[in-house]
Amino acid sequence: MPHLPSFAPARPEEILLPVKPWFVMLTLILGLIGNLIPVSGVTLRLQPDFLALVLLYWCIQEPRLISVGMAWCLGLLMDVADATVFGQHALAYAVLAYAAEYSRRRVLRFPLWQQAAQVAVLLLFCAALVLLVRVVGGAPIPRWTYAVGPLVGALLWPVVTTLLQWPQRPRRSQAEV
Amino acid sequence: MRHISVEPPPFFHRGPSPLARLAFFGLLSLALLFADTRYRYLESVRHAVAVVLYPVQRAVQLPAEVLAQVTSYFSSQAALAEDNAALRQQLLSEAPVVQGYQLLLQENARLRALLNVEKRFQGATTAAEVLYSGRDPFTQKLFVDKGESAGVQPGQAVIDEVGVVGQVTRVFPYMAEVTLLTDKDHAVPVKVERSGVRSVMYGAGSGRLPELRFLSPNVEIQAGDKLLTSGIDGTYPSGLAVAQVVSVERETGQIFARVTCKPLAGVEKSPHLLILGRAAAPPQRPEEPAESDTPRKGRGRHRG
């Protein structure tokens, strides 16, 4: 009788099972849903880009499954959902996916909280790219609260990691317990 | 790395390198950005993707709807009775106004018929509910749950119980995008209720109050004045409440007065909105002389 693993981040020596593609798709759809939650006011400023966060996780963990092309397609979906200029999120997500693929080996060496710091840099970079596209298009420069969303996203990184790697953690047999 | 690498050695074929892929998709995005901002070629693609997205958007609404239904089921009878009494009271207090309004409406219709003036509204109004507000911090937009299937058209004015909220700018099969008064690209022709001065109110983007531009410093306007739509653009019907003037700064040395105003409607709060029927089409604009064909900045793309 296999035991479900405890709900905590995987220990470094644990070997994760291969991920199921449907689980990746499901989490990406949940990330999209997270972005579409109707909120307003302060909550809207605090709301991180859930889709970018989930995407970043899979780009770092499973670069052979999810990479630049998939990120770009999801970016197009977000462009329609947010009614922004076509290509804005697509560009940002594609660059985010590439940056994740480039830095994944380094990121994975660190404990979760230090990973979160690096994720903050990646998410801020993604937000800065969107800002650049918009400012070139003539939008005014937003206030500093613009950076709050990505930072909240980085704070959520340990939670997201724990949640998303939970199904991949090996079931332990009775003998081991 | 935590898991055993299942990746084959690099001499197996793995498709184009990440950098090549990034270059391809990056260029594609830039092409899309250009095509969308300059030429608006991609509205049909946007429609198709919106249809795919619709189930997801509805799914997000479900928990809130269920919660609202459950709470309304359990709301106490006393609260309902109280509510009912208050509403009756309000109805009674507004009855004289409404009855007077009916009379005025008839009189107005007769007079307009005499003068051969067209009706103010065409088509029916549609009640709509806000699905969600756009997350884009650079624009002020909302999505409502009525679209092409309910007869909504781009350019229709959207109001709540107090005043104008914005304008429908894009219509999808089952939902529509509403650009709010506070959006940077949005302009509403208004007039001051007290003095009749006409102007155009420009949105200023999120967190900033809209303003009236290009008003000379000696113009008849003061803080507290109410602004109504003037109706001269043919998009907004005339006489809808829009905003209240918050401050008027008349500095010597400035060519224009600085007038900021606060929208009356709960622009970012109202959950229920009303999409008005189209205002009657205005007569054709007379031909302008050829030398004045310079592009007008800021008059907005949302003139419908």
Q: What pLDDT, on the 0 to 100 scale, is given for residue A43?
A: 77
In a domain, residue A56? The reply is yes
- Within-domain flag for A83: yes
Q: List pLDDT tens digits, range B126-161.
A: 888 888 777 777 778 888 888 888 888 888 889 888
Q: What is the pLDDT of residue A92?
A: 94
Cα separation values, A130 from A82, B15, B184, B210, Å: 13, 28, 17, 25
- Min Cα–Cα distance to chain A from B114, Å: 45
Q: What pLDDT band is residue B303 in, cutting at 50, 70 and 90?
A: very low
In a domain, A1, yes or no: no
B26 assigned to some structural domain: no
| For residues B203-209, average pLDDT | 81
Query: What CATH number should be reported for the domain holding residue B185?
Result: 2.40.10.340
- What is the domain extent for residue A140? 21-168
CB contact under 8 A, B29 and A91: yes
Minimal CA–CA distance to B246: which of B193, B210, B199, B213?
Answer: B210
CB contact under 8 A, A108 and B1: yes
pLDDT at A159: 93
Q: Judging by beta carbons within 10 Å of its beta carbon (0-12, 13-18, 19+), is residue A166 exposed, middle or buried?
A: middle
Q: Which residue of A has its CA nearest to B298?
A: A138
Average pLDDT on A52-68 reads 91
Query: Is B235 inside any structural domain?
Result: yes
Q: Is the pLDDT of residue A67 over 80?
A: yes
Of B253 and B280, the one with more pLDDT: B253
Contacts of B131 in chain A (CB under 8 A): 38
B19 lies in a domain?
Answer: no
Q: At CA B267, angle to CA B264 and CA B273, rounded to 5?
A: 100
pLDDT tier, B301 (very low <50, low <70, confident <90, very high otherwise) = very low
Q: In the predicted model, is pLDDT for residue B53 greater than 80?
A: yes
Q: What is the pLDDT of residue B14?
A: 67
Q: Which residue of A has its CA nearest to B204?
A: A140
| Residues 104-163, chain B, touching A (beta carbon < 8 A) | 130-139, 141, 143
Q: Do A87 and B33 touch (CB under 8 A)?
A: yes
pLDDT for residue B175: 86
User: Chain A to chain B, count of Cβ pairs less than 8 Å apart?
Assistant: 139
Residue B94 covered by a domain: no
Residue B5, pLDDT above cutoff 70? no
Q: Which residue on chain B is closest to A35 by alpha carbon?
A: B135
Q: What is the pTM of this model?
A: 0.73
Q: Is A65 on the interface with B (CB under 8 A)?
A: no
Q: Which amino acid is at B200?
A: V
Q: Is residue B25 part of a domain?
A: no
CA separation for the pair B88, A164 (Å, rounded): 54
State which of A19-23, A54-58, B294-298 shows the largest mean pLDDT.
A54-58
Which tens digits make up the pLDDT trace of A94-115? 999 999 999 988 998 898 889 9
Q: How many residues does chain A have?
A: 177
Phi and psi based region of residue B81 (left: phi greater than 0; alpha: psi -120 to 50; beta: remaining): alpha
Residue-number span of the structural domain to which B203 is assigned: 122-280
pLDDT, average across residues B50-61? 83
| Whole-number pLDDT of residue B122 | 55
The mean-pLDDT minimum among A34-48, B90-104, B140-154, B202-216 falls in A34-48
B265 falls within a domain: yes
The structural domain count of chain A equals 1
User: If pLDDT is split at 50, 70 and 90, which confidence band does B102 have?
Assistant: confident
User: B279 has which bridge partners?
Assistant: B121
- What is the per-residue pLDDT for B298? 46
The mean pLDDT of chain A is 86
- Tell me what ipTM this predicted complex has: 0.83
Given an 8 Å threshold on Cβ–Cβ distance, is A64 in contact with B35?
no
Selected residues 213-272 of chain B with any CB under 8 Å from a CB in chain A: 268-269
Where b means 16+ CB within 10 Å and e means fewer, B2-15 reads ebeeeeeeeeeeee
Least confident of A79-83, B17-21, B267-271: B267-271
Query: How far is residue B144 CA from its own chain's centroid?
Result: 10
What's the rounded Cα separation, in Å, for the pair B161 and B166?
13
Question: How far is C-alpha B242 from the geometric centre of its chain's CA atoms?
Answer: 12
Residues of B in contact with A127 (CB under 8 A): none
| Interface check B30 vs A, CB under 8 A | yes
- The whole-number pLDDT of residue A74 equals 94
Backbone angles phi, psi at B275, to 5 degrees: -95, 115
Dig out the tokens for A82 from the structure: 């947010």
Total domains present in chain B? 1
Give me Rg for the CA atoms of chain B: 25
